[in-house]
């Protein structure tokens, strides 16, 4: 999946050159949102594995919104190593403050949807494809 994220970030950079986007969120904020959305995605993946098919559209959206934040960070020049460090820090802080996790997930989901909408059709298609591939791999593993 990591190579897919790098490719996705690079493709968003190319898409940005053709479609144009507004400046994205601070990379640390993006990492905080990816960490929060990752927790939400994991819960939805568990529901999907348990046979709750209605979780799939929600999972698709959460993954797409997370990819929007990742793409935004790559567009700002954040390297894979830096991104991984920021995400690890965000995950560590998140585990210390679970009370606001749901609120953060809701806010980040909405912000990720906005980022994706502003990114243009090419980036939207890339995010959709990356999320779909992840869901298909999940289904194959059962």
- Write out the DSSP string of 48-82: HHTT-TTHHHHHHHHHHHHHHHHHHHHHTT--HHH
Cβ-based neighbours of 126, under 8 Å, separated by 6 or more: 8, 11, 12, 15, 67, 71
pLDDT of residue 18: 40
Structure confidence by residue, pLDDT tens digits, 94-137: 876 677 899 999 999 999 999 999 988 988 999 999 999 999 99
Contact (CB, 8 A) for 83 and 31: yes
Q: How far apart are CA 9 and CA 12, in angstroms?
A: 5
Neighbours of 115 (CB within 10 A): 25
- 78-104 pLDDT, tens per residue? 999 999 999 999 999 887 667 789 999
Instruction: With 0.95 as the threshold, say if the pTM is over it.
Output: no
């Amino acid at each position: 999946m990591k190579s897919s994220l790098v490719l996705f970030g690079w493709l968003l950079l190319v898409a940005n050159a053709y479609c144009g986007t507004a400046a994205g969120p601070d990379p640390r904020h993006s990492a905080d949102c990816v960490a929060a959305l990752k927790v939400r995605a994991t819960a939805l993946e568990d529901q999907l594995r348990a046979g709750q098919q209605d979780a799939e559209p929600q999972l698709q959206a959460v993954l797409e919104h997370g990819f929007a934040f990742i793409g935004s960070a790559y567009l700002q020049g954040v390297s894979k190593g830096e991104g991984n460090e920021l995400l690890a820090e965000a995950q560590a802080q998140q585990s210390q403050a679970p009370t606001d996790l749901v609120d953060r997930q809701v806010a980040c989901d909405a912000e990720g949807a906005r980022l994706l909408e502003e990114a243009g059709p090419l980036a939207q298609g890339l995010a959709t494809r990356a999320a779909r591939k992840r869901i298909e791999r999940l289904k194959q593993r059962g």
